[in-house]
Amino acid sequence: MTRLGARMTGWGRQRIHLCPVSFRLYDSALRQIVPFEPVRPGECSIYHCGLTVQSAPHLGHIRKEVIFDVLRRWLTYSGLKVTIVANVTDIDDKILNKAADQGIEWFALAYHFELELHKAYAALGCTPPTYEPRATGHIPEMIELIQAIIDNGHAYAASDGSGDVYFDVRSWPKYGALSGQKVDEMQPAEDAPPEGKRDLRDFALWKGYKEGEPLTASWPSPWGRGRPGWHIECSTMSGKYLGDAFDIHGGGMDLKFPHHENEMAQSQAGGRPFAKYWMHNGWLTMAGEKMSKSLGNTATVTEVVKRFPARAVRLYLLAPHYRSAVELSDQALEEATAQLNRLDSFWTRAHEALGEVAPGKVPDEFAAAMDDDLGTPGAVAILFQQVRAGNQALDSGDTAAATAALATVAAIEDIFGLNPADPIWGKGAEADLKPIVDGLVEALLAQRQEARARKDFAAADAVRDKLAELGLKVEDTPAGARWSLG
């Protein structure tokens, strides 16, 4: 895919420029980096698996959202029309069980945590998907796909009268191709009881209604009342909104098997080509273990952004390569906060000296890094090179070089979703309070300056120390005192 290029002048606004660099990505199915050639020229269609809305999202979930948000921004900058679909799984065994334990309706629990998911998107500056379908809104389409798989000889209704329908893994010779496993070496599928299965590895496409379950959690089907299996949901919704063949299917590495393996098998067995490329991001870990609700080692987005700036958390999530495992710790988030302060210090200093500067063209080195399988580590390094060059230009009074550096930094921060001027960072109560906080700090700095002018250095130092206690760093410059988060 040769990039025509689109220079951002603010998120969502583009200007075309020529740039002969091609995007390449690591295809998890082929296990190698390959050139990206879209199914439809000039477009890119992406499906990444959303959450099962059973509890509040943690950073392990939202790392994937940030990664695919950066991918979307980069491909949009590169001149492609990008469509992203991310589903919401709002019917599932875990949802039913948790709702029963809490004594509430399953759909109320699912909706509550769907709203929490949207808050997490917004908190970390993720642009919402082009569309976000719910599983419960697509039951007829799921039944249609299941029937096609049965008609093609790759699924069957359980023999025990349970109303379950299973995918016949032995009937599909390519089963295991995505994960590189052989059927005989696989563990039994645990998404349904073994009764009625021809092979323990067969997985559920449809789950018959069981006594004691909420009737509202079942729908009529040719096989009796029931609900869809987890895997069939994504096959159905991706096909409905992106077409039978689309470009990229993504998600966390933990979804590669069995979820994505099953999606690929059942879709193709139903006569649909499905995804052309597969992208899987690495785990976010705590104490060396994958972040997981079942292990109890989670860090919810809501709690983390109370302790660290949201943009710093986003920087922490996007800076490592998306395929690498990342260890979560306070130290790592503190380092990301310090890095963000370096960016914002230059941003503030440059705007004070230069005024508003429109985003420019990204350096060729940055484009090469991003085009090489979304190489954010190298791209982030180039961002800080530009900040360093911009500060040096300001120090020497080279206005032209400082302006060029600020324009480049703005363009890169647009792509990373870190631009402090982006309206996505100006929403909610914090934005309402910002003018008040700015005014109060400026008033204190004015008092400090008056104390310094009358040589009352004890009073001036007391103001500075009080601001430091609140987490604010005061820097004296020729243009006056400047403050930032410490």
pLDDT of residue 448: 81
In this prediction the pTM is 0.83
Residues of the chain where predicted confidence (pLDDT) is lower than 70: 1-21, 287-298, 427-439, 441, 469, 471, 477-480, 482-486
How big, in percent rounded to 5, are the helix, strand and coil portions of the chain? 50, 15, 35
CA distance linking residue 189 with residue 485, whole number of Å: 51
Task: Phi first, then psi: give them for residue 26, nearest 5 degrees.
Answer: -80, 115
pLDDT of residue 375: 97
Task: Phi first, then psi: give them for residue 251, nearest 5 degrees.
Answer: 165, 180
Secondary structure class of 286 (helix, strand, coil): strand
pLDDT of residue 13: 37
pLDDT of residue 486: 52
Quickly count: other Cβ atoms within 10 Å of residue 179's Cβ: 16
Beta partners for residue 285, in sequence order: 290, 327
DSSP category for residue 16:
B
Beta partners for residue 27, in sequence order: 32
The size of the chain, in residues, is 486
| Apex 73 CA angle, 72 and 78, nearest 5 | 95
Largest CA distance in the chain: 92
pLDDT of residue 138: 96
